[in-house]
Structure 1
Amino acid sequence: MIQLKEASPRAPVRARRAPDPRWRWAGLALLLAAAVYAPFQLAPFHVFQLTMVLIYSVALLGLNLLVGHAGQISLGHGAFFAVGAYAGAIMLDRYDLPYPLTLPIAAAVAFVIGLALGVPAMRLRGLYLALVTLAIAIFLVPLLKRFEELTGGSMGLTLAKPAPPAWSGLAEDQWLYFLTLVVAVVAFLVAAGLLRSRVGRALHAVRDNETAAEVMGVRLSSYKTLAFAWSAMYAGAAGCVYTWVIGFVSPDSFTVNLSITLLAGLVVGGLGSLSGPVLGGLFVMFVPSISQDVNDAAPGVIFGLLIIAVMYVAPTGLAGLAGRLLKKIPRKE
């Protein structure tokens, strides 16, 4: 007679506890308080650096919608950034519009161009889509130089920066920082709401499995095109604010290297995460300068090695690494 062994008792499986949303809101409030407090404690140059981090974060937020959430690829995001910068600069230089009005106009112009480019791009994928977007970034610089009467040609356009109002008591660098902070906060709130909606679920379905998404009734062509348009709109808004902060635009500031750097910053920061663009903005702002300080002769080599090192330590980006570290923290039952 065959005797069956008695099964050993197993420990009950504990369900993973969902993070308390109150802690998330508390963390966001603490981060926002630190962002408001920072410009009063830092030197003007460091305030400028933080302002640029916010600008790059907004641009990367749009790129994240396209790459991280819709599953598309773009090597021409710097071109949309340049479109927004020049749209804002032309509105200020040629038509003397108030600064607040240039932001929605620049975003709208970039949205329309992204929508127009998204229609043919929706039929492509992978390497072919990457080459098309790369071509956009390549031909933009000579195109800007050709229309010299409008864009200033190779010399670019020099603009006055927004002056802080007398009632604010802020220095120019602090005022520009807070303007950029307001734009960044609104951009992140809109993106968070978009991703939690039906549109966000459709983008994720397209990213994960296009065939299954189409069977479920998701219109692939519409959402792919809109993803390009939304991505371009965020980049255009960031480019417009860049014009306010720098006070100067030139075609040589928007070469293909900018597009590649933005994509690298997003991958390092973390795809598909709202915190990824912020971490990517820090990477885009500070890593090139650190590379330049390490070795003036080969900053590109140092930059590339740092990217490889980060990808080796954190394959899912810095946001994914932070998430894994937080999960290892023991919690009280």
Structure 2
Amino acid sequence: MNRRNALILLALLVLACLAPFQLAPFHTFQLSMAIVYAIALLGLNLLVGQTGQISLGHGAFLAIGAYSTAVMLDRWDTPHFATLPVAAAVTFVLGLALGVPALRLRGLYLALVTLAIAIFLVPLLKRFESVTGGSMGLTVSKPQPPEWTGLAEDQWLYFLALAVVLASFLFVAGVRRSRVGRALNAIRDHETAAEVMGVRPAHYKTLAFAWSAMLAGVAGCVYTWVIAYVSPDSFATALSITLLAGLVVGGLGSLWGPLLGGAFVMYVPSLAQDINQAAPGMVFGLLLIAVMYVAPTGLAGLAARVSGRLETLVRKGKTHAH
């Protein structure tokens, strides 16, 4: 991470730490959910933005992480913090297992297979009622704030989500600037040329799929902490499609895109509902088209262009002053 990105991250962290003390509990909850989606999009960006593989089933990995956490809390009374590494490990292994056969597929074929996983998962969760609670889902407890913090429950959950997204962001930033990140970019740009240069596409694509699934599972775990309830209908196919749309709107391949995309996934559907309760899908689609027309490279790309123009104007002003 360069100095500029580090300064931006520090400024965002300061604002993020102040936010829950200025917002009402419901708005703090909404911000926590935007963070949950941002964690999932950080993983999806590794797969789609860095490696060039299209996934329409990422909501399924989020659901698996959420249900793994809920089952551990409900059936085995596992401590909340112990559920996070388990949810991460479960989805990493599943991502690894699915990543191997996915190597034979690319483009729309891979997209269709991942979409099929998302479609298949919801009835599967409903079928195993003794474990998953069926259509009724599972209600679990939320992590309670320690007394010494002096925080309300919604503030404590927000800071837990913030800590997890920060760790996820630093992990992804480290991957992007490492040898692995350069290999993933090479595979995305030209797989055959990358293979000629000694990059093993099969190894790196499988790893990207596993990491991507793991971060979605981590997001699912935090989702369960924040909402304290899971049901199959919360993870319908529309969630996977909305996540991909959020990533594209935020900025595909950008380090900051998932953070902006998480806000889009959280706030825009509810805004569409407020505008027209009869046809929120239509309003959401129109808003999506409008954003992509204004910012074809995503909101992160738009912000970079605006920042670049401002810097150019400042330099020209200094030149004229001299």
Scaled by the length of structure 1, what TM-score is found? Answer: 0.93
- Within 2, Cα distance between the matches of 1:297 and 1:188? 37
Specify which of 148, 152, 177 is matched with residue 171 of structure 1.
152
1:48 maps to: 29
The 2-side partners of 1:274 and 1:326 are apart by 16
**Aligned residue type for 1:244:** W
What is the match of residue 80 of structure 1? 61
Amino acid at match of 1:164: P
Between the aligned partners of 2:108 and 2:213, the Cα distance in structure 1 is 20
Q: CA deviation at 1:108?
A: 0.6
Q: Which residue of 2 aligns with 1:246?
A: 227
How many Å apart are 1:22 and its aligned residue? 4.1
Shift of 1:24: 3.5
In structure 1, stretches of 5+ residues that fail to align are 1-19
Q: Please state how far the C-alpha of 1:25 moved relative to its aligned partner.
A: 2.7
Structure 1 match to 2:129: 148
Q: Which residue of structure 1 lines up, in the alignment, with residue 70 of structure 2? A: 89
SS at match of 1:328: helix
Q: Across the two proteins, how many residue pairs are aligned to each other?
A: 314
Find the aligned partners of 2:184 and 2:138 in 1 and give their Cα distance: 38
1:218 is the counterpart of 2:199: yes
SS state at 2:123 partner: helix
- Report the equivalent of 1:255: 236
Name the CA distance, whole Å, in 2 between partners of 1:179 and 1:76: 26
User: Residue deviations 1:192-236, cap 9 Å, x none?
Assistant: 011110000000000000000100111111111111111000000
Structure (1 or 2) with the greater helix fraction: 2
Say which one has the larger Rg.
1
Segments of 5+ residues of structure 2 without an aligned counterpart are none
Q: Within 2, Cα distance between the matches of 1:117 and 1:27?
A: 36
Counterpart code for 1:113: L
CA RMSD of aligned residues (A): 1.1
1:281 to 259, 262, 275: 262
| Aligned counterparts of 2:98 and 2:5: Cα–Cα separation in 1 | 37
Secondary structure of 1:306's counterpart equals: helix
Q: Secondary structure at the match of 2:210?
A: helix
For residues 8 and 209 of structure 2, the distance between their equivalents in structure 1, rounded to whole angstroms, comes to 31
Post-superposition, which runs of at least 4 consecutive aligned residues in structure 1 deviate over 6 A?
none
Residue identity in the other structure for 1:91: M
CA distance in 2, matches of 1:214, 1:24: 31
Give distance in 2, aligned partners of 1:187 and 1:129: 25
Q: How does 1:86-165 map onto structure 2 within 5 Å? A: 86-165=67-146
User: 2:16 corresponds to which residue?
Assistant: 35
1:184 aligns with 2:165: yes
User: Residue type of the partner of 1:241?
Assistant: V
Corresponding residue number in structure 2 for 1:307: 288
Q: Secondary structure at the match of 1:274?
A: coil
Sequence identity percentage:
72
